[in-house]
Structure formats: C-alpha cells, structure tokens
Structure 1
Amino acid sequence: MNNIDLLQSDEVKRFIKENVETDPSGLLLNPPKNFKNHIKEIVNQIIARKKAKGKLDDWATNFELVMPAPLSIEQASSQTTCTYKQNLISGDYLVDLTGGMGIDCLALSSSFNRTIYVEQDPALCEIFRYNSLVLDYAVEIKNMEALDYINSAICNPNKTTFYLDPARRDSDQKRVFRIEDCSPNLTELLPALREKANHVLVKYSPFLDIKGILNTIPNVKEVHIVSVKNDCKELLLLIDFNFTGISQITCVNLKSEQHIYSFSFEEEALSQARVGEISSYIFEPNASVMKAGAFNKICADYDLIKLGENTHLYSENRLVDSFPGKTFEVISNANETSIKEFATNGKINVITRNYPLSTTELKKKLKLRDGGDYFLVAFKDLNNKAKMVIAKLIHP
C-alpha cells in the first residue's frame, strides 16, 4: 500500500477527521496501535489541515484530498490571492513551472485551454495527480526540473504563458531579499523563457525589493502588490517580452477596502507632497501602497497634506471615499488626561509613524494595551517634532 492509498483508506480518513483539532504532539507520543507504523504521515495530514484553515478552507475541510507536507501549505497561495491571479492571465496554453501543491496551477487552469504542471519532486507530483482527479481538473503532469522542461518543450510563443513561484528561502531556511537567491533563479531562466513564450507571471515574496527587481528583469509590464486584510502577501510580476514601456505598479488590499491604486515609479519621482498641519481626518495608506512607496504620488492624487517629510500619514478637513487605506477622524490632541479618558481599562490601539519610539515601546512606556474603539496616533510633524493625537477609525 502506498502513502496515498493509506491516507485515503476509510479508517485513516475517519481518524484524521476526528482528530483534526487534536494536539499533534500528543498523537505522536501516544499513537493508536493500528497506526503506529504510519503515525508521522497521518499526523502531518492533521498539521497540514490546521495550517490550511483560514487560508485554504476548501482544502482543509475536504477529507477526500491528500494534503502535501505542512511546509508546502505555508508556501502555497491562499484561495483569495489565487482568485486575484486568475484575472491577470489567460489564453491557450499555461505551463506552471514550479507546481508544488498546485493551488495556483488549478486556479489559473480555468483561464486556459490546456495546462501543464511541472514539478521536480515526485512525491508532490503524485499527490497533485491524485487531488486533481478528485477535484475533476484535467492537467498534464511532468516530473521535471523547470529549465529541463523549458529546453525540451515545443511551444508556440504567441499561445504560451509560463507561471513561476520561485522558492523564497535559502538552504538554511533564511528569508532572502534578491531574486538571484530564489530558486529557480528567474535571471537564469529568462533567455529560455523568451524563446518559448510571450508572457510570464511570477510570484515573489513581498520581502523582495521591487526597484531592484525592475532594475534586473526587463520587459516587466505590471507589478501587482497583493495584500489580504492589510497584510502584504505577494509580489506578482507580469512579464511581456513585447513590452518596452514603463512598468505599472498596482496596489490591492483584498478582503478589506477594495480601492485599487496604480502608479509608476517615474510618476512618484516627479510628484511633490505638500507638508502641513494635521486637520480633521488622518489617512493611512494600506500595506500594499506602503510597500510600493507611493508616498508623494498618493498625496498629490488625493490632494492631501503630508504630516511630515518622512511621516507617511496624510490629513485633510474632508473625507476621501476612494482612499486606498484607513481613514481616522481626529478627536483631540493626546496628553495624559485624554489618553486616560479614551483608553478603556488601559486599552487603546496604538499607531506610530516616524516616531522616536516604536509601537511596542510606546505602549510599554504609557502602560497601554491594544483594544477599544479609539487610536493613539503618534508621529513627527512638519517641524520634525513628536506629536500624538486621539482618533477614531471610520473606514474601513
């Protein structure tokens, strides 16, 4: 019996379902006698489903599927970001060169006539083969290295799109910040990719430097910075080998305010921000805009005042419904008396921007905990002086 047959036996599926909320360490220490020889594989299914909860709920609750190793779940896209990627590419022929768990491959396949999944790990190939049949997806599977597949494939460039999700950690499992340290290395694949396709979509970690990528990779038509609930999750590069213009940067914050903000680094360099005093409302850009560094362009586009030269908070005496981020109403200046008034049982949400103390340090100094309906917003003003105000979140 192979692992997939074992994990899909009625007895094992029932055990996994009954213990999906059980502490895995306890199961490893005290395995049932009939599962003792395979308890690690079974427990890994439980751990993987725990990690998938809230990220890949359809998979976490489908006990007909076999989960890959927990690390594959951590590295996989969420259902939310998969859906976003579906709108970026479409066509005749998709090749996912870094198949992995296959979440992106399955999602993107719905926009193509033919899809090929390429993966160097034979175990992941077998799991994907099984799961794609369970989910009724018709995807061809190639157990190969990405470069080997590209070199051997016969492709019509006008009809072919490649997708890559390079590994974002080195051999010591440390985070990396350059595309050259990711595997596969896109810079090494580009000549071969250019011969076989016109379009390539690449997913990277948000830790990578966007300007560094654009200085290294030519023909990037679009960069999408994707956040979910204001947590930056992915950088997506859309490469078009026929494109030679200025890259468009698109900032999205899914499952939160839905305003999409687009600009170019050239526009940011030419924009000037008006620095001034705080007024009725504070505007805080979302995580994608902050990652993009659109600090002057967004100020000019929405006709706002920047609260300090290096303070990425903005203000005006009017509401801006389409602002891509949070909007706060200023209640009062913050001092010992007002903080006590608005902090319920010592709870008030704390935000610091370009302030001498970090958020954690300021909370410790003032003996505050996050919570309640109000915010303590601390920043440096136009005169580079530290300032604090009490505010209330009104959007989203």
Structure 2
Amino acid sequence: MNNRILDKEVQAYIKVNREKSPSEIALKKSPFSDVSSSEIAAQIDGWQRAVKKLPTWAFSAGIYYPDKINLEQCSSEHTALIKQTLITKGSKVVDVTGGFAVDSCYMAQEAEIVVHCELNERLSAIVKHNATVLGVNNVVCIATNGVDFVQQQEDGSLDYILIDPSRRINHAKVFLLEDCEPNIIAAQDMFFRKSRFTICKLSPLLDISTALQKLKHVKLIYIISVDSDCKELLFIQDANYTEAPKLVAIRLFLDQIQTLVLTQEEEKQTLIRTSQPLTYLYDPDVSITKAGAFKTVAKRFNLFKLHTHSHLYTSSDLEPDFPGRAFLIQEVFELSAFKKRTSLEKANVSAKNFPMKVEEIKKKFKIKDGGNEYLFFTTDYLGNPIVIHGHKV
C-alpha cells in the first residue's frame, strides 16, 4: 500500500482523470515522483469498477482500491445488505476470508464487532484504511489465517462466522466444496463449537442438493440474483437446527426486491396444471430456477405450465408480481408453420425444452438479435414444438 496515493494532490489528479481509460493513463508519464502511472491507473480502474457495484466506496473521498481481482471477487452492496439482515443486533462476527470487506462493513452496522481476517497483509491494511474513511469503527482487521483465528477462540464465544472459500487454487478452478480453500467441510464441526451460526457464501454454480449432502445443520439457503444474474448462494448453518432447510429465492432488480420461500419437499409434493398458451407468458428469474421452484412458483401465482418440462408459464390475467419477465402473447405458431406465417427478421430468441439451441434457431430462421420482439421456442403440453411471439409487459 503506497500511502503517497492518499495525498491531496494525487487524489485530486485521480478524481480529474477517473473517467478516462486506465490503460491510457498507465502509458502516460506520472506527474508524481513516488507514485507510478500504473498505480494511478489501478486506482482509476478500481473506481470505475466500484461505481455500480460499490457506490458508497466510489463516492467517498480517500478510498484506496486494491488489485482488480479483489474487486471482482467481493460482494456488491446489494448482496451485502442481504447478509446484514441475517445477523442480530450487537453480535460478534468473524469474517474468516475477509477480502475487500464489503460484507464486513455492512455487517458491522448491526454487529458489536466484526473481526476481518485476511492473509494478504497489503489488502488487510487497505481495508483498515477504508473502514476508517467510511466511519466503520467496529471492524477489527487482522492479517492472519481466519480458520486458525477462529480455532483459537473460546468455545461459544462467537455469534456468527462468515466464510467465502476460494474456488481458485494455484490459478485453477475447483468445483468440489472440499477442494476449496479453506475446506469448510473439514472445518464445520470446529466452527459449530465456536459459534452457533455459520454463513457460507458459495459459488452460484454449485449444485444445492450436492452441497446439502456435505454441509450439516443447514437452516436456510439464500439464492440471490441481481438484474437476472445469479450472484450468490448463502448456506446458513445453525448448530441447533435438525429440520429440512428452507430455500429463499431473492430477486434484486431496478432497486426492487422479490422473495419466494419454499422447501424441497413442498416443491416435490406440489401438483401442476398445464395449458396451451393463454394471454400472458412468464419466464422465471434465475433465482427461481436455481432454487428448483418450478412447480411452487406456478402454484403461488396461480399459473399454468406450458409443459411439465417447459419452465414457462401462462395465465389469462396478468400477475404483475411474478418474479421474472412477463409478456403479452401476440401469436402462437406451430413450428412447421412459423416461417410461412411470420416476417420477423429481428427478435430476442429463447429456447426452453426445445431440441434446437438458440444459435441454431437464429441461423435456420435467419433471425437477428435485438429489438422489441420476443420469440420463445418451446414445447406445449401435448409435446408439440411451438413458437410464441410476445411483447414484454
């Protein structure tokens, strides 16, 4: 951490140039003898990454940005706010894999103390500086191995452990929980002795059922999407919990939030109704599909499915609170008649429960991407391939 970057004249220079290309700045000669052009470029790159993801950081004077990989891997403010709601007022929290400390800073607004553990000494120093700038005075930064730190604490002395195991080991991606670093499977029993609750932030690509076979006492699973992109899976472990976990699908979009709570057993027991396309078509958000709430979402919103395996829904009356996209159906075509009966050359194409992929469809029917028209290539409840033309509601 080069403290010279925090000098007023350097910060003023960064502010004036922060909307310019970082690579362009890196090629220029630095106006400062003890701050390189690459260091200035890195701070500008950090600010540009933070503007949408971390606006509180971006618009606070004196923030020091770390390496871009730390910004890529950190939580957004939207998802950090969800974690803030998971802890009780006045609790003691240890963030085992602290990183850039977005989660730590938000949890600190509820907690009595948050201990931020980070092996990277430079990153730990950056977090300590930024916490002071942000006025978050109850985050204690320790450059240490977080698992070792927790192990050294007295049994029952903590309220929450937050851990985000790395899925990159020696620059290679790993996919099994036990291959991540730290190994949360091996550490979970020790965690339960130190703290009743463990919050595991896991890859959105992880199979939920597989994870449940390895993680003990899971009480809640949060599936969080931001603007239709699944960002986080949070597994909340409660040492005292022995029942089936609840799944909480959370959709964050346009500063709104939609939530659907269910259990895997509820989904299994739910009966569905199928129908030909009616007036409206619904395409569920990724948080719903990741939660496996294919039948539950139909029941909750009184919808029909187009087919048992076509995760598209329909209704005669609009359901404005549906967690996903809604379309007013313009036309429904049998696949064999589609090309003869439409002159659409530009549309947004989706394929669900359909034998062809989107790229194949666009090539075959000579459809270009974009515009306000939407085409869904799917299968109806009789097993017939159909095309639904709709406009977004």
Q: TM-score, normalised by structure 1?
A: 0.91
Which SS does the other structure have where 1:53 is aligned?
helix
User: How far does residue 337 in structure 1 lie from its aligned partner after superposition?
Assistant: 6.1
Paired residues of 2:222 and 2:235 also in contact (CA < 8 A): yes
Q: TM-score, normalised by structure 2?
A: 0.92
Q: Deviations over 1:88-135 (max 9, x none)?
A: 222421111111101100001111112211111111111011111111
Gaps of 5+ in 2: none
User: How far does residue 38 in structure 1 lie from its aligned partner after superposition?
Assistant: 2.3
* Amino acid corresponding to residue 52 of structure 1 in structure 2: A
1:1-396 equivalences under 5 Å are 3-32=1-30, 34=32, 38-91=36-89, 92-138=91-137, 139-154=139-154, 156-157=156-157, 160-174=159-173, 176-256=174-254, 258-334=257-333, 335-336=338-339, 339-340=342-343, 343=344, 346-394=345-393
* Amino acid corresponding to residue 8 of structure 2 in structure 1: D
Distance in 2 of aligned mates of 1:393 and 1:375: 8
Deviates more, 1:368-377 or 1:205-214: 368-377
Q: Deviations over 1:14-48 (max 9, x none)?
A: 22222222222233333336458623222211222
Gaps of 5+ in 1: none
Which SS does the other structure have where 1:199 is aligned?
strand
Paired residues of 1:306 and 1:312 also in contact (CA < 8 A): yes
CA spacing shift, 1:132–1:143, aligned 2, 3 Å: same
- For these two proteins, the number of residue pairs brought into alignment is 386
Q: Deviations over 1:61-106 (max 9, x none)?
A: 3341101111010001111111122112224211111111011000
* Amino acid corresponding to residue 180 of structure 2 in structure 1: C
Paired residues of 2:4 and 2:35 also in contact (CA < 8 A): no
CA spacing shift, 1:314–1:234, aligned 2, 3 Å: same
C-alpha RMSD of matched pairs (Å): 2.0
- Identity value in percent: 30
Paired residues of 2:25 and 2:40 also in contact (CA < 8 A): no
Distance in 1 of aligned mates of 2:310 and 2:176: 27
Which SS does the other structure have where 1:191 is aligned?
helix
Which SS does the other structure have where 1:167 is aligned?
coil
CA spacing shift, 1:173–1:50, aligned 2, 3 Å: farther
CA spacing shift, 1:4–1:242, aligned 2, 3 Å: same
Deviates more, 1:208-217 or 1:90-99: 90-99
Deviates more, 1:43-52 or 1:202-211: 43-52
CA spacing shift, 1:290–1:35, aligned 2, 3 Å: farther
Paired residues of 1:90 and 1:111 also in contact (CA < 8 A): yes
Which SS does the other structure have where 2:48 is aligned?
helix
Q: Deviations over 1:2-24 (max 9, x none)?
A: x3412102232122222222222
Distance in 2 of aligned mates of 1:131 and 1:203: 23
